[in-house]
Amino acid sequence: MAEMSDVFFVDGMRTPFGRAGEKGMYWNTRADDLVVKAIIGLMERNGDVPKDRIDDVAIAATSQTGDQGLTLGRTAAILAGLPMTVPGLAVERMCAGAMTSVTTMGASIGVGMYDLALAGGVEHMGRHPIGANADPNPRFVAEKLVDPGALNMGVTAERIHDRFPHLTKERADRFGMASQHKAQAAYEAGKFQPDLVSVAIKDAEGAWGLATEDEGRRPETTLEGLASLKTPFRPHGRVTAGTSSPLTDGATISLLAGSDAVKEFGLTPKMRMVSFAFAGVQPEIMGIGPIPSTEKALKKAGLTIDDIGLFELNEAFAIQVISLLDHFGIADDDPRVNPWGGAIALGHPLAASGVRLMIQLAAHFAERPDVRYGLTAMCVGLGQGGSVIWENPFFDGKKKRK
């Protein structure tokens, strides 16, 4: 009989994230090849895990069409050289796709049905702009179920500013600048590089190159520069390119395992899943979604926000992260939050981003045995939030040395 099991995040890797569009480094690279490359890199780094023991492969994409359609988990598994006996599936929860891949596979491990699983996501926003092939039901507008502006994420970000006037543009600008500076400092310290899978790329002239780092960073960002940027979502608005995540291409993948598999293969997990939750909010102000999902996840875990020692929050927009911090009484510049910067600097390839948060939290845990619990959380288009709470297996109960 299958027994309930702990769920462990054993490892995670990702491609460097590229700017979407013709000038981006992945313009001539297929979406499925990005996730295949990530899977190959992860399996090579975890050579003690037999490929034929992977119980399932869940890969998310927001636009499930073209080269990121066709049951991505199955096709990517085959292309990555996993045995034909390994099944796969595709997941779609917009920005929380990879996060949902992890929680779905994690739940399957938790109830004892799976021992090992791969979970991740990919988005090629250059080839597949969000909503490009979608055909929203006319009832949404005709019956006033959802405001048409709810499908424009920048408009929803402006509405957070409207609802919470004390969350000013200057605070958002400062947060956006800090993200860029923290990300650059982390790059210079070699923090990201161990978990990046290099990708062979071809430019418009047919010359080959190698993608080795995130392309969209702007470390030269200043408050003065941010103050002068246009507000594309509204005349005299408060959301700019400097306080938004850029359109991005990239892929992420993680290896999850249950307790028996950890013992059988002598694995060293990087995190243990404590709880997860998803929540719905009004689509018109989708950015507040992680607030109720985090409250639900904390309740499931029997924890409070004060128990969380590290936060990896997806920076879809600066105002969106600040609204969550404000709700929980956390300062905009709290050092526990996104220590290496976030999506404003690194990019947000929609369905891939959830596992990027987890990869970074896992790396923090390894350096911070004084921290027991961490949170990965993100807002989700059409009015949702997703949160996963993790425990640090290296926690030693000792206070951090000054």
The pLDDT assigned to 9 comes to 99
Per-residue pLDDT reduced to its tens digit, 41-57: 999 999 999 999 999 99
**What's the mean pLDDT in 138-150?**
86
Task: Please give the helix or strand (H or E) that residue 363 lies within, else none.
Answer: helix 353-367
Q: Is 128 a catalytic residue?
A: no
Instruction: Return the structure tokens found at 115.
Output: 């021992």
Do you know the residue count of the chain? Answer: 402
| Degrees, nearest 5: CA angle 299-305-308 | 110
The pLDDT assigned to 2 comes to 83
Catalytic annotation, pick one of 95, 124, 128, 364: 95
What average pLDDT does the chain have?
96
The yes-or-no verdict on residue 334 having pLDDT over 50 is yes
Per-residue pLDDT reduced to its tens digit, 1-10: 889 999 999 9
The pLDDT assigned to 401 comes to 56
The yes-or-no verdict on residue 400 having pLDDT over 80 is no
Per-residue pLDDT reduced to its tens digit, 8-42: 999 999 999 999 999 999 999 999 999 999 999 99
How remote is the C-alpha of 24 from its chain's centroid?
20
Portion of the chain with pLDDT greater than 70, in percent:
99
Per-residue pLDDT reduced to its tens digit, 77-120: 999 999 999 999 999 999 999 999 999 999 999 999 999 999 99
**What's the mean pLDDT in 305-331?**
98
Q: Is 95 a catalytic residue?
A: yes
Residue-by-residue DSSP string for 51-84? GGG--EEEEE-SS-SGGG-S-HHHHHHHHTT--T
Catalytic annotation, pick one of 124, 128, 348, 364: 348
Reported in sequence order, the residue ranges of 178-329 that DSSP labels E, i.e. its strands, are: 199-202, 208-211, 248-258, 271-280, 308-313
pLDDT band at 204 (very low <50, low <70, confident <90, very high): confident
The pLDDT assigned to 402 comes to 47
**What's the mean pLDDT in 172-196?**
98
Reported in sequence order, the residue ranges of 268-364 that DSSP labels E, i.e. its strands, are: 271-280, 308-313
- Nearest-angstrom CA–CA distance, 221 and 243: 11
Question: Would strands 248-258 and 208-211 be described as parallel, antiparallel, or unpaired?
Answer: unpaired
The pLDDT assigned to 203 comes to 87
**What's the mean pLDDT in 276-285?**
96
The structural domains of the chain, with segments of one domain joined by +, span: 7-129+246-391
- Nearest-angstrom CA–CA distance, 15 and 176: 23
Instruction: Return the structure tokens found at 110.
Output: 């938790």
Claim: this prediction has a pTM higher than 0.85: yes
Closest by Cα among 58, 124, 123, 69 to 91: 58
pLDDT band at 141 (very low <50, low <70, confident <90, very high): confident
Per-residue pLDDT reduced to its tens digit, 209-222: 999 999 999 999 99
The pLDDT assigned to 130 comes to 86
Topology of the domain covering 7-129+246-391: Peroxisomal Thiolase; Chain A, domain 1 (3.40.47)
The yes-or-no verdict on residue 394 having pLDDT over 50 is yes
